[in-house]
Structure 1
């Protein structure tokens, strides 16, 4: 489905139990990710919850209408919440989507019941660990010049963006499936301009570490211990700053424990939501 929000046509999907409480899912990777991965990973939660997935502006099937700022993306999320007539939401954000989730909670605390963070960060201070891990992998196509341009938002075309992502894909999971990775790569909607703004402008100034103490909602923090791009140190920082948190590390996962250990991840999410009153209205 599409809806015009803040001057941009936004793609979204609603799955699951329309009588249940609502979970919003915020995808990562501006300009290379969209909601399809989360739909596949989390659709089983639809037996109890109403699940709302969207492609952020400039990504996936949504229009490429700037600005691609955190402020705009967060406003779009809240505009969709308002459009759907949902008073309060549970919100789950992974990777870069976790940045937006955290900023949403800080801007609209009264609209949030609980928060789930997956392999994300409150700052960019651990970027050097990501670069070190990538360079030590000795994978073909990975070198410092390429990583610098990728992480600093200096990608020159969608074709180059695709080649860069192809090179780093083996880093994301504990067990690399070359066939699955190739299929994924060929189905990505590449939007290098969106990526460039996110990494050249937004990420350079992103640091909400000092504001984590303001978050009152219950928060589930999750991370795969083999994550290269948002290493465990990022989640450690989140856990140290957020008062009301549950922190779980997944021993057999990289950047995507919700995929790599799907059953275990969904069981944890259900437990967290149940403990925080998400099922209290169900008789």
Structure 2
């Protein structure tokens, strides 16, 4: 049974969708790229799991079709996840997230360990230690020439308008996939809703203070850490750090992927996640 509503969550209007059996185990998936991302990617990536799971996706406050109600903080985004969990009546969930959504998934697991049955992470990080590598890759790529003004804004949250954020997104999109397809980049650009203030808050205010490494040993739920071998933004080393710090975490590297193995190697990604959840006893 599907669900598609605009819900009032902690004062914000969030567009929320749910798929799969209402009595199935719950999975909440958080999208990445605050101010750029939306529920469309998690819906596409985790929709196939609705044959077994109650898959819940949503546009976070300040992104997609949801309202721009501040604050745009990790604590608020975590509180929104928990409110959505409570709305659907689930005591425990599989928490999943990729890229910046992985930051929120990690933060949720740290804040609410009793509510997470398993954690699925994709191309994410526990701190900003590897951000300089993204700048280096942007400078050295042979796919396109990225303007210096765009390179200077990677991970900074310094945008003056939605139009400027759009031009930045257009400039860096060629870096994301292992096999570059300009047509896919154009489609992603056309489908994106821009919220530059959200993006500025995420990267200009939240990220300079972001370092979850000291708290990761406290995560006790089964954890799967996935990453594309050729990820320019959150490299394999960032995932290795997470896997080393979370007890018994499993690390899987997708050899033919960049930042999005869930889209670049979907069959392998889905099989990997299903096998992990089955072994974790969630299914």
TM-score, length-scaled by structure 2: 0.96
Partners of 2:207 and 2:148 in 1: CA distance: 19
Greater Cα offset, 181-190 or 113-122: 181-190
Where has structure 1 moved over 6 Å in runs of 4 or more?
A: none
Q: Residues 160 and 139 of structure 1: is their aligned pair in 2 closer, same or farther, counting only changes over 3 Å?
A: farther
Partners of 1:160 and 1:144 in 2: CA distance: 14
Matched, 1:95 2:126: no
Deviation, structure 1 residue 141: 5.3
> Residue deviations 1:163-208, cap 9 Å, x none?
1111111110011221122111011010011000100000111001
Q: Secondary structure at the match of 2:29?
A: strand
Q: Residues 249 and 119 of structure 1: is their aligned pair in 2 closer, same or farther, counting only changes over 3 Å?
A: same
Greater Cα offset, 151-160 or 24-33: 151-160
Deviation, structure 1 residue 146: 2.2
Partners of 1:224 and 1:77 in 2: CA distance: 26
2:170 to 166, 169, 176: 166
Q: Name the counterpart of 1:211.
A: 215
Matched, 1:151 2:159: no
Q: Name the counterpart of 1:260.
A: 264
Deviation, structure 1 residue 65: 0.4
Deviation, structure 1 residue 244: 2.2
Give the conservation status (yes or no) of the 8 Å contact 2:144–2:174. Answer: no
**Counterparts of 1:1-283 in structure 2 under 5 Å?**
1-138=5-142, 140=144, 142-279=146-283
> Residue deviations 1:33-73, cap 9 Å, x none?
01101111221111111100011100001100010000000
Deviation, structure 1 residue 140: 4.7
Give the conservation status (yes or no) of the 8 Å contact 1:217–1:244. Answer: no
Give the conservation status (yes or no) of the 8 Å contact 2:95–2:105. Answer: yes
Greater Cα offset, 255-264 or 238-247: 238-247
Give the conservation status (yes or no) of the 8 Å contact 1:135–1:143. Answer: no
Give the conservation status (yes or no) of the 8 Å contact 1:139–1:167. Answer: no
Partners of 1:140 and 1:254 in 2: CA distance: 16
Partners of 2:122 and 2:153 in 1: CA distance: 25
The alignment covers a number of residue pairs equal to 279
Gaps of 5+ in 2: none
Give the conservation status (yes or no) of the 8 Å contact 2:30–2:39. Answer: yes
> Residue deviations 1:72-121, cap 9 Å, x none?
00000001111111110001110000000000011111110000000000
